[in-house]
């Protein structure tokens, strides 16, 4: 009875990934060793070839493939994605390298319950290829950001950030790797704050309760 009760009180988390899934794995490891206490109810991917699927298998997290290629148009894909999410009844959605802009309908339904990891210090370098953007701009510092998803692209309230220095002559892949190591630290930390109800959203600002 006691364990049933404990499970019921855990927040249901759904991950959305399109590719490699290293951030997904950084979270899955912590869920497995119980340092992140939640119920990982599914990985949804828009790419049937995503390596993240293998990670989900490894950690026994159910996978749901909503393959973009299988739909006639964007709106059919959007509905299928929304239906799949609704079926899983998430308390929290975490986008980990999910390379589609989430439909407004989903953003509205799950307002303040969708977290994204982004490889730059927002609001600098939003969108795609952020590491390349930072190098080409000549930035000396970049990093990563965990933020809520709102109606814009990478504009939602910031939960955590971590900076990294860009050394002279650094390549895009070297910078990506350096940033990724920080992503793997701050994403589980931000999820932890959410799971423990330690995030207060005040306007566009996030206050973390220690």
Catalog residues that contact ligand GAR under the rule CB under 6 A.
17, 19-23, 96-97, 117-119, 130, 180, 183
How near is the Cβ of 9 to ligand GAR at its closest, in Å?
28
Q: How far is the CB of 206 from ligand GAR (least distance, A)?
A: 18
Query: Catalytic pick from 17, 55, 107, 118?
Result: 118
Closest separation in Å from C-beta 44 to ligand GAR? 14
Nearer residue to ligand GAR within complex by CB, 23 or 78: 23
Q: Quick one: 10 or 51, whose CB is closer to ligand GAR? A: 51
CB of 116 to ligand GAR, least distance (A): 7
CB-nearer residue toward ligand GAR: 30 or 118: 118
Least separation in angstroms between residue 105's CB and ligand GAR is: 20
184 is catalytic: no
- Asked if 24 contacts 45 with a C-beta cutoff of 8 angstroms, the reply is no
Give residue number: closest CB to ligand GAR: 97
SS3 readout for the chain: CHHHHHHHHCCEEEEEECCCCHHHHHHHHHHHCCCCCCEEEEEEECCCCCCHHHHHHHCCCCEEECCHHHCCCHHHHHHHHHHHHHHHCCCEEEECCCCCCCCHHHHHHCCCCEEEEECCCCCCCCCCCHHHHHHHHCCCEEEEEEEECCCCCCCCCEEEEEEEECCCCCCHHHHHHHHHHHHHHHHHHHHHHHHCCCEEEECCEEEECC
For ligand GAR, give the closer residue by CB, 102 or 206: 102
Give 81 or 117: the residue with its C-beta nearer to ligand GAR.
Answer: 117
Expressed in angstroms, the distance from the first to the final Cα of the chain is 32
Residues forming the active site: 118
């Amino acid at each position: 009875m006691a364990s049933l009760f404990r499970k019921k009180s855990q927040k249901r988390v759904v991950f959305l990934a399109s590719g490699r899934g290293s951030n997904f794995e950084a979270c899955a490891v912590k869920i497995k060793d119980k340092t992140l206490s939640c119920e990982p109810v599914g990985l949804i991917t828009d790419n049937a070839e995503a390596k993240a699927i293998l990670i989900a298998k490894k950690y026994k997290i159910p996978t749901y493939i909503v393959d973009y290629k299988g739909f006639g148009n964007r709106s059919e894909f959007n509905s299928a994605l929304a239906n799949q999410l609704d079926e899983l009844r998430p308390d929290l959605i975490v986008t980990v390298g999910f390379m589609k802009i989430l439909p407004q309908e989903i953003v509205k339904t799950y307002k303040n319950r969708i977290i994204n990891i982004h490889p730059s210090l927002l609001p600098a370098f939003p969108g795609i290829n952020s590491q390349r953007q930072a190098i080409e701009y000549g930035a000396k510092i970049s990093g990563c950001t965990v933020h809520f998803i709102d109606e814009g692209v990478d504009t939602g309230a910031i939960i955590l950030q971590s900076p990294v220095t860009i050394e002279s002559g650094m390549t895009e892949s070297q910078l990506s790797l350096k940033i990724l190591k920080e992503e793997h630290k701050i994403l589980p930390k931000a999820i932890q704050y959410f799971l423990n109800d330690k995030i207060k959203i005040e306007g566009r600002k996030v206050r973390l309760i220690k």
